[in-house]
């Protein structure tokens, strides 16, 4: 079976629903409640039952789907909404990064009860914090201060600052096939590709969304394929190597489209 995840950020309370796909379709495996909205979620990379959420009260929660009650652990250090959380993808390290409206990113080892490090530099809300799938200890952050920043956990300061948009940047992601390539999605309705070896110009700009882009994800299977979703209610698929990069626009939502991901197991599943 393929575990799927869904989270709901409501007014005043949040629910984490863990879903399982089997012959009968998609069924609810486990449900957990938290006393504030849940904004993001990440699966553990070393335990199939463990995941971490982050919430409107600034805390991170560790949950175990093998247990009926939770959370196992709560980390409360951010002073405003914790908006982004991601578990490291590279082998040999189990690190979590979180981003907050308090303008900081924090580094966590899930086995340690407090953060290992706080990254300061952004001058606006940190909306997105994403680990590099290639470079150990390296993550990117996207912010309301209109910059994309690259950090190294072994060094205290910011490694690279990219003034990527003239608008708030709500999302970023790393290419799975090129360690120097990232994409950003912003309130200006554009997606931009960035090569870390030359940040003067974007390597691509994708136009089509009519409202702010809330999340963008590179394909795990194709080097030039990506997906995005937006406050314009649509999900769009792109191939930035093509002259007409917009492959498809999916209009099945009737409200803001706030999150999406691409399955690592099934090439066609989003």
How do residues 82-93 score in pLDDT, each as one tens digit?
999 999 988 778
pLDDT at 10: 44
The residue ranges of every structural domain in the chain are 2-163
Confidence of residue 28 (pLDDT cuts 50, 70, 90): very high
pLDDT in tens, 41-58: 999 988 999 999 999 999
Confidence of residue 2 (pLDDT cuts 50, 70, 90): very low
CATH 3.60.15.10 fits 2-163, yes or no: no
Task: Name the residue with higher pLDDT: 3 or 227.
Answer: 227
Residue in this structure with the two tokens 């997906």, named with its chain if needed: 227
In Å, what is the CA distance from 243 to each residue of 11, 117, 201? 43, 43, 18
pLDDT at 6: 46
Give the CA-trace dihedral at 221, 226, 228, 234, to 10 degrees: -90
What does DSSP assign to residue 198?
A: B
Confidence of residue 145 (pLDDT cuts 50, 70, 90): very high
pLDDT in tens, 152-199: 999 878 899 999 999 999 999 999 999 999 999 999 999 999 999 999
Q: What is the mean pLDDT of residues 62-76?
A: 94
């Amino acid at each position: 079976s393929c575990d799927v995840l869904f989270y709901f950020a409501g007014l005043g309370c949040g629910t984490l629903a863990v879903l399982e796909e089997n012959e009968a379709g998609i069924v609810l495996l486990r449900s957990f409640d938290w006393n504030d909205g849940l904004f993001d979620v990440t699966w553990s990379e070393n335990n199939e039952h463990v995941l971490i959420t982050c919430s409107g009260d600034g805390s991170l929660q560790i949950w175990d789907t093998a247990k009926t009650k939770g959370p196992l652990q709560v980390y409360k250090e951010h002073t405003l909404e914790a908006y982004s959380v991601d578990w490291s993808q590279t082998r040999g390290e189990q690190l979590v990064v979180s981003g907050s409206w308090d303008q900081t990113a924090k580094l966590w080892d899930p086995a340690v009860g407090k953060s290992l490090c706080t990254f300061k530099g952004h001058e606006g809300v940190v909306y997105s914090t994403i680990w590099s799938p290639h470079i150990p200890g390296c993550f990117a952050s996207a912010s309301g201060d209109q910059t994309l920043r690259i950090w190294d956990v072994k060094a205290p300061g910011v490694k690279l600052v990219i003034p990527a948009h003239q608008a708030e940047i709500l999302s970023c992601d790393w290419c799975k096939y090129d360690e120097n390539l990232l994409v950003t999605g912003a309130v200006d309705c554009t997606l931009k590709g960035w090569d870390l070896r030359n940040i003067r110009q974007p390597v691509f700009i994708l136009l089509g969304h009519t409202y702010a882009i809330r999340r963008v994800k590179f394909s795990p299977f194709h080097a030039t394929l990506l997906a995005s979703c937006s406050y314009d209610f649509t999900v769009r698929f792109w191939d930035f190597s093509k002259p007409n990069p917009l492959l498809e626009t999916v209009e099945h939502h009737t409200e803001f489209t706030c999150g999406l991901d691409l399955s690592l197991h099934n090439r066609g599943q989003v």
